[in-house]
Structure 1
């Protein structure tokens, strides 16, 4: 019976397998250092295949390079024997939530999640350390030493002699940051869906470096935009007041987005209130649109001066699709198509607008008429007009559907539908988020939190087709992304899920290394955790923020389609549940084999084992889990029958139990080696499932 590997995937082997798909003659098999057979690339053969496209040696080329880059990539691709252990007492609604909070190093988390969420994450938002010299940098084991950097950059020769008078210490400063961010972005890209996006907040310190790294990881062709977030000016600057940050946006595949016609729009201020009033009037008047038009006209007139909905008062006509106003039906700019459009009453062709019809063909015009989006006048002596609804009708969309300023003299409010394209610059004072979070937490426990309302708005903007997207943040920090997802769900009626990752950084260590205002902020966080008897870790503050934010969101008015998921499963990165003998049984002294009758560490629970099996098998870690007793043995069922797991170690699993379990017909089933009654049962398990549940995949640990 095949055993689960119980470690993260070897991405180098995956990459070689992709090369084999393209150039099968360039990949062979070779023995690895541990004696196992692995795929290997015949680079001589590959060079022949790509003879005209190879750049080698010192030949000039455009690329980004730095000391430690190769090691960073090797580290990203190397598998790790670690796991995620569930922590129910720190979770919220563990059994029913779809959200995850992973505590541990984000590089390890990204590796562990490769099988489970490969190509499934719609949106990644991260706010990584800005490398200002004061913030925390993840120290992986491939950072360059000062001497190695100086040799690489040409400041010293191999003998250590100084070659330049002014060492580029700033360069090494960038190098450490690049070595931190590069492998994480490389792994993150694999998790994105084909229509996926990554949004990265950054400031001037590493904006240029980040842009070049992202061009390399995601491809220049997939760059979407660079947003500028103005947060307010400071009066202490000597030259210019720099109060902005950036947000880089890259697509996994921008061509894919374009080919499927992805368009991003957001509602203009005031449009939502009009729609709410329409729904209220509809509940009163039903299909009596005359009464609804009279009522909505009065509603507009009763609005206070300056109300954002007042500028949309021309949307006072009503039909089944909501409030609408008339718009010109002629071709923008003139010289449009000309064809007959028959008036339904006079049966005569309507007068063609001087600029021609707006729709490119008679068939498209007829489609718009059938949708009820063309309104005819009393007779054919005047052209009809088209309806522009406060909320555009999806079925009505054509290439030129989005209205522009094509009617001179119209006010801005009348020149477009009630949606807009976001600009690349926006203003929101940073103190808004700071004050909100201080009120939520009872003290200032985070220095520079992002604004959850702005992030919620962005989430809705870039996920127009998704109602249940997976949204990830592997630099969770203050937990803003979690609250933003809950806020977006509550306001827009979506049910997006979040996956957050945060390092359990010691606040006591941070307190010792900070000064001034930062020290006061850390001390406030420590005081909060002591009051709640929590460990003094940054991740604990993050979790507490999400708990409180969930309660606040639940109390606010919300969309009826939101399922009100404010929970999260806490999973903590730890060493593998499996003893060393599981991975290298051949290296163990035969005399000591009796000491390892069981290959699982003694401090691990059945639920610990379940989550490592789910990791190994690539099962969604947020699926519902139930536990049943079958012939006196506990059996876990994940999402009913996606996975069944029995970790009984009493040696009492017999054929009768296996047959009973097979009746459930799970897609996958796993047993513990120490659980079988004898070797004959272990041998017969696969045969029993082939007979009673032939689609079940059977493995053991």
Structure 2
């Protein structure tokens, strides 16, 4: 029988625990790491350097503690909303993203294809709304972080000051990025928007967490903000997007189709298959001279043509071998033309749709890091205005930017998961839905947003919209995030329905004529085809996932957060305040056990007692469980197609006596049956 208290379990295993799993031979019987033996065994395979380059700041020790500290919240679903959207796999989660990331890590580790975040830029006017203060004493922080008492005191004093310094921003970002990396798939990629205030610090921080070798690119985005006349020195009109992979060797990036019409001006008899072509000279002057490519080619009139126009070795040669040229002449890839002086020149045809071996190709180019057009904030503001009829969000990123980034890394054949844990106005969710409609795939999104209060004075328009139009008493940014997703999904459907309506009206308008001409009939036929196409598109769109399930974090009672190293019967029954929110317990526990948030537990009856089951896990959380109920559980497991490998019971309501009886029964069952059942007492 195993006892668990979720807020005593490290969300992210320590480095030592990871090393023990990978290299158990380098630990002695007392658990000490044999560093000299480890170094000796690997020194022949790599260079071991004692010189390092890293970013240090006041608060880094505290940030490391935050990254591995257990959760302090429970996850709860909006049952009414989720029942209406029960088939959706998209997620919108309200809460502090550090807590949410810790909840997600058990069920979504190595599952996320792409992360995009637009974190606070740490400007002079920005106050952090994320409060990562844990009320540690200097002694507690000293022990947890492995630092002396004096340094712990300095860190806590620094945190109490609510500073907007580089150190404060790094302390805030470190644990979130640390956990985010765990969530990425092995081929996953993260994009982070940032400005001049923290780009230098963020680059070094990302090198430390993701590895300098996994840096992909630094995009420069024109923000579209007009030049500031009050700028002290130079008006800044750009921000940046840092891109890192989890593993550069496993990540791949899509390419853009090149402008296949540019320069392709000629046609020949192969046009239908090869497309148009352009002419390139077959000879070239090159430092990569090869004697095997320096040979004469016979022209149509029998004269010999040499690379560079002379038989002497002048450093010129042909691009193709002699055999390849003969093949090219035979297959109409070689063209002979005279120049103005009457000298023969040799060209090869570069076609649009086949390569130089006559094999079909798609000509592509890598995307570039300069994002100068179509990605600025003005576009994002227009999108918000179109959805809400008022400007309720400042400087939102446009969906064009997020779609561009998704198209860089996401394969349309895969139902990739896109995560944004600074969701803001909900642009990422909107972009995912739009892109799914455009290319007929079903990517999923997970959005996380803090219920940050909207200032009624600084953001009066947004405040009044949420309060008056949405009817929410205490307006938050989260309310805008949610409403954006709802309205964006409706707009996608409405836009297509309006297209259909316009075509129908155009057909009806033609039918109003007294006499239809041949041209009218042809136009009606064409419009009918277009109408059918749009109607089919609408049906396809309606089958896509354009909704989401909603969850939120709720705090664990303060008395339940006490750090108890060993649970005794007396402590179990007297120390902890029972958590009676069944919704929160089941949602939190299933994710902790690796079950995806969107999946619903199945309610089962065990002789009058309700249990909850999914993926071989059975949860017993209500009071009143008896031995008769246990017999029913074991009977179902034994006689029916009902596989259970783990039973989790609610330690808050199962007293020590029934716990022992359950343990003894499960223990006896395990002795008889090949399928072993693990029993967990959870608090």
Give your verdict on TM over 0.5. Answer: yes
**Do structure 1's residue 568 and structure 2's residue 519 form an aligned pair?**
no
Hey, what does 1:247 align to over in structure 2? 241
Whole-Å separation in 1 of the counterparts to 2:220 and 2:335 = 51
**Do structure 1's residue 440 and structure 2's residue 387 form an aligned pair?**
yes
Aligned-residue offset at 1:658? 2.4
> Secondary structure of 2:2's match?
coil
Check the 8 A contact 1:9/1:114 in 2, yes or no: no
Higher mean alpha-carbon deviation, 198-207 vs 232-241, is at: 232-241
**Do structure 1's residue 621 and structure 2's residue 597 form an aligned pair?**
yes
> Secondary structure of 1:550's match?
helix
Aligned-residue offset at 1:452? 1.1
**Do structure 1's residue 647 and structure 2's residue 631 form an aligned pair?**
no
Hey, what does 2:373 align to over in structure 1? 427
**Do structure 1's residue 132 and structure 2's residue 123 form an aligned pair?**
yes
Check the 8 A contact 1:376/1:384 in 2, yes or no: no
Could you say if the C-alpha distance between residues 548 and 12 of structure 1 is closer, same or farther in structure 2, counting changes exceeding 3 Å? closer
Could you say if the C-alpha distance between residues 630 and 548 of structure 1 is closer, same or farther in structure 2, counting changes exceeding 3 Å? farther
Deviation track 1:603-651 (CA, whole Å, cap 9, x = no partner) reads: 312x33222222221222223444344544434343xx45443434322
> Secondary structure of 1:500's match?
strand
Query: Which of 423, 429, 443 is matched with 1:496 structurally?
Result: 443
Unmatched 5+ residue regions in structure 2?
137-149, 152-160, 294-306, 308-316, 337-345, 497-536
Aligned-residue offset at 1:559? 9.1
Whole-Å separation in 2 of the counterparts to 1:579 and 1:141 = 17
Hey, what does 2:170 align to over in structure 1? 178
Hey, what does 1:229 align to over in structure 2? 221
> Secondary structure of 1:459's match?
helix
Query: Which of 235, 259, 265 is matched with 2:255 structurally?
Result: 265
Check the 8 A contact 1:81/1:576 in 2, yes or no: yes
Aligned-residue offset at 1:669? 3.9
**Do structure 1's residue 660 and structure 2's residue 636 form an aligned pair?**
yes
Check the 8 A contact 2:263/2:278 in 1, yes or no: no
Check the 8 A contact 1:224/1:251 in 2, yes or no: yes
Deviation track 1:486-539 (CA, whole Å, cap 9, x = no partner) reads: 1111112221111111111222xx33xxx6xx43344344435x6434642221
Whole-Å separation in 2 of the counterparts to 1:223 and 1:180 = 21
Could you say if the C-alpha distance between residues 642 and 487 of structure 1 is closer, same or farther in structure 2, counting changes exceeding 3 Å? farther
Check the 8 A contact 2:88/2:548 in 1, yes or no: yes
Hey, what does 2:460 align to over in structure 1? 520
Whole-Å separation in 2 of the counterparts to 1:686 and 1:667 = 14
Check the 8 A contact 2:637/2:644 in 1, yes or no: no
Hey, what does 1:147 align to over in structure 2? none
Within 5 A, what are the aligned runs for 1:567-586? 567-576=547-556, 580=560, 584=564
Hey, what does 1:603 align to over in structure 2? 580
Whole-Å separation in 1 of the counterparts to 2:208 and 2:414 = 31
Check the 8 A contact 2:122/2:164 in 1, yes or no: no
Could you say if the C-alpha distance between residues 44 and 632 of structure 1 is closer, same or farther in structure 2, counting changes exceeding 3 Å? same
> Secondary structure of 2:188's match?
strand
Could you say if the C-alpha distance between residues 682 and 435 of structure 1 is closer, same or farther in structure 2, counting changes exceeding 3 Å? same
Whole-Å separation in 1 of the counterparts to 2:74 and 2:91 = 15
Check the 8 A contact 1:506/1:538 in 2, yes or no: yes
Whole-Å separation in 2 of the counterparts to 1:601 and 1:332 = 83
Could you say if the C-alpha distance between residues 107 and 324 of structure 1 is closer, same or farther in structure 2, counting changes exceeding 3 Å? same
Could you say if the C-alpha distance between residues 242 and 601 of structure 1 is closer, same or farther in structure 2, counting changes exceeding 3 Å? same
Q: Which has the larger radius of gyration?
A: 2
Check the 8 A contact 2:92/2:446 in 1, yes or no: yes
Check the 8 A contact 1:577/1:609 in 2, yes or no: no
Could you say if the C-alpha distance between residues 12 and 490 of structure 1 is closer, same or farther in structure 2, counting changes exceeding 3 Å? closer
The count of aligned residue pairs is 573
Deviation track 1:562-583 (CA, whole Å, cap 9, x = no partner) reads: 6511222222112349984997
Could you say if the C-alpha distance between residues 541 and 216 of structure 1 is closer, same or farther in structure 2, counting changes exceeding 3 Å? same
Hey, what does 1:684 align to over in structure 2? 665
> Secondary structure of 1:672's match?
strand
Check the 8 A contact 2:612/2:618 in 1, yes or no: yes
Whole-Å separation in 1 of the counterparts to 2:678 and 2:459 = 54
Check the 8 A contact 1:8/1:114 in 2, yes or no: no
**Do structure 1's residue 670 and structure 2's residue 670 form an aligned pair?**
no
Aligned-residue offset at 1:73? 0.9
TM-score, length of structure 1 as denominator length: 0.68
Unmatched 5+ residue regions in structure 1?
31-38, 145-156, 159-168, 272-308, 339-352, 403-416
Hey, what does 1:220 align to over in structure 2? 212
Check the 8 A contact 1:581/1:588 in 2, yes or no: no
Hey, what does 1:201 align to over in structure 2? 193
Could you say if the C-alpha distance between residues 172 and 677 of structure 1 is closer, same or farther in structure 2, counting changes exceeding 3 Å? closer
Aligned-residue offset at 1:475? 0.9
Within 5 A, what are the aligned runs for 1:12-91? 13-21=13-21, 24=24, 27=27, 53=48, 55=50, 62-91=53-82
RMSD value over aligned CA atoms?
5.0
Whole-Å separation in 1 of the counterparts to 2:64 and 2:561 = 29
Higher mean alpha-carbon deviation, 666-675 vs 225-234, is at: 666-675
Whole-Å separation in 2 of the counterparts to 1:332 and 1:668 = 71
Within 5 A, what are the aligned runs for 1:299-698? 324-325=275-276, 355=318, 376=331, 388-389=352-353, 417=363, 421-428=367-374, 429-464=376-411, 467-507=414-454, 510-511=455-456, 518-528=458-468, 531-533=470-472, 535-557=474-496, 563-576=543-556, 580=560, 584=564, 590=570, 601-605=578-582, 607-629=583-605, 631-638=607-614, 641-652=615-626, 653-662=629-638, 663-666=640-643, 668-672=645-649, 679-685=660-666, 687-688=668-669, 694=675
Check the 8 A contact 1:103/1:572 in 2, yes or no: yes
